A = this chain, B = another copy of it.
Amino acid sequence: MKHFGNRVEGLKIAYIGGGSRGWAWGLMSDLASCSDISGSVYLYDIDFNAAKDNEVIGNRYKKAPGVQSRWHYKAVKSMSAALTGADFVIISILPGTFDEMESDVHHPEKYGIYQPVGDTTGPGGIIRSLRTIPMFEEFARNIEKYCPKAWVINYTNPMTLCIRTLYRIFPGIKAFGCCHEVFGTQKVLAGVVKDKLGLEQEVDRSEIKVNVLAINHFTWLTSAKYRNVDIYPLYADMCEACKDTGYIGHQAPNWMERSMTSQGFNQERVKIDLFRRYGIIAAAGDRHLAEFCEGSWYLDSPQQVLDWDFRLTPVSWRKADLQKRLKRSKALLSGETPVRVNQTGEEGSHQIRAILGLCDLVTNVNMPNRGQIPNLPLDAVVETNAVFRHNEVTPVMAGNIPTSIYPLVTRIVGEQEIVNEAAAKRDLNLAFRAFCNDQLVRLPLDQARKLFDEMIENTKSYLSEYFA
């Protein structure tokens, strides 16, 4: 790449999982909107044809109305071809297929365990981690080999353990993980601000300044401000007022939640209940938050989920959604549906610009704990704000996990640390020690083992390294 004053040209971005139908198109659109950076995106995917389709779609953006910057897209058949010389690496993959995810999410239902997402914690999150970690080991080794100075941005779940693995294998890596869940909560807070202050116009989420801490999908805000207004008392009022009805006053959340939510769902009732329990604002979608809590609170049965006004996302929905997106891919590919340049609200392209020294940025990222949360273990991956500047992403001192939520958070961090170690050692027995203590797995030991073994068996084609 080359800097020309306030412009950078000739950037090389490697996209692992570049055949994606969804994220990839958002990135294409965001990059096309950035007038001060340009270059090439190398698309690598185990499904080469999918990458090839995205190459065609990506290159269509060059001629889209409103394009600010023309990027060249190229599908490649090897990871090394994508990585060699890359300035940035984006990782956004599905570890395994939706069939494996079906086992992760639904097999535990036979034992009375219900999971709205199943990709981070709970029995599904643990098994998904076991198959994902070896993949990220390979990514880390390749990055060390082919582009050790590249910045790596991960969007894959389980976020925490993906980043943990990258740093475990290649400690010098410059990697961080991004997730939009906090943005969603900022939008909820923007809604509360507008309602409580009686403002006439919408408040943009970027005006909601928050101190973020803890771990991905179980993130908390210890301060929240809109200009000189402390949002905490406003939020407390809302929580008491809406404890039975839930809260819907805010802006539409991200596309996935939007599409998953029909009337009556997603009313922030878990978030409200957690605030009433602990006095701290939880900053993720209810479907995620519920999974990190004692199983009897929100996930005891499908009916209890309905009672709390959120919903379980069945993998069948994901499979159907994929069909829609495949259809959309075809339409984009043929040109039947024209590509459009509009910003997604994701921050990836701004982060890239800030790392290139083109702007300053403070936002939340997932990175190893070097002390930014002093009362969590060092090296565990945590989510906090960070300052982005030229070639630097520096976490701010987020402070201690507040006393009242410390037991909840450390329990999960501890679980993830076991899974990390178990995967590193390819030791399923150690992994089971986390599994049998999981907040959703409230089973006698032998039943827990039976469930674990079945879930391993169901997904074993992606776990061969554990049986070597």
State the CA gap A362–B397 with chains docked (Å): 13
Q: Give every chain B residue within 8 A of A374 (Cβ-Cβ).
A: 370-371
| CB closest residue in chain B, given A8 | B228
How many copies of the shown chain assemble into the complex?
Answer: 4
Q: Give every chain B residue within 8 A of A436 (Cβ-Cβ).
A: 277
With contacts A228-B3, A374-B370 known, is A407 near B399, CB below 8 A? Answer: no
Question: Does B403 contact A421, Cβ atoms closer than 8 Å?
Answer: yes
Please tell me if A465 contacts chain B, counting CB pairs below 8 Å.
no
Main secondary structure on A side of the interface with B: mixed
Please tell me if A321 contacts chain B, counting CB pairs below 8 Å.
no
Q: Give every chain B residue within 8 A of A276 (Cβ-Cβ).
A: 445
Question: Does B273 contact A445, Cβ atoms closer than 8 Å?
Answer: yes
Please tell me if A323 contacts chain B, counting CB pairs below 8 Å.
no
Please tell me if A347 contacts chain B, counting CB pairs below 8 Å.
no
Interface residues of A in 423-445 (CB under 8 A from B): 430, 433-434, 436-437, 439, 442, 444-445
Give the interface residue-count category, chain A.
35 or more
Interface residues of A in 255-312 (CB under 8 A from B): 273, 276-279, 294, 296-297
With contacts A390-B209, A394-B397, A417-B406 known, is A297 near B444, CB below 8 A? Answer: yes
Query: Which residues of A come within 8 Å of B, CB atoms?
Result: 3, 8, 209, 211, 223, 225, 227-228, 230, 273, 276-279, 294, 296-297, 356-357, 360, 362, 370-372, 374-375, 377, 385-387, 389-392, 394-399, 403-404, 406-408, 410-415, 417-418, 421, 430, 433-434, 436-437, 439, 442, 444-445
Chain A to chain B contacts (Cβ below 8 Å), 24 pairs: A8-B228, A223-B392, A225-B391, A225-B392, A227-B390, A228-B390, A228-B391, A294-B437, A296-B442, A297-B444, A360-B360, A362-B389, A371-B371, A371-B372, A394-B396, A396-B397, A397-B397, A404-B437, A406-B418, A407-B411, A407-B412, A407-B413, A407-B418, A408-B437
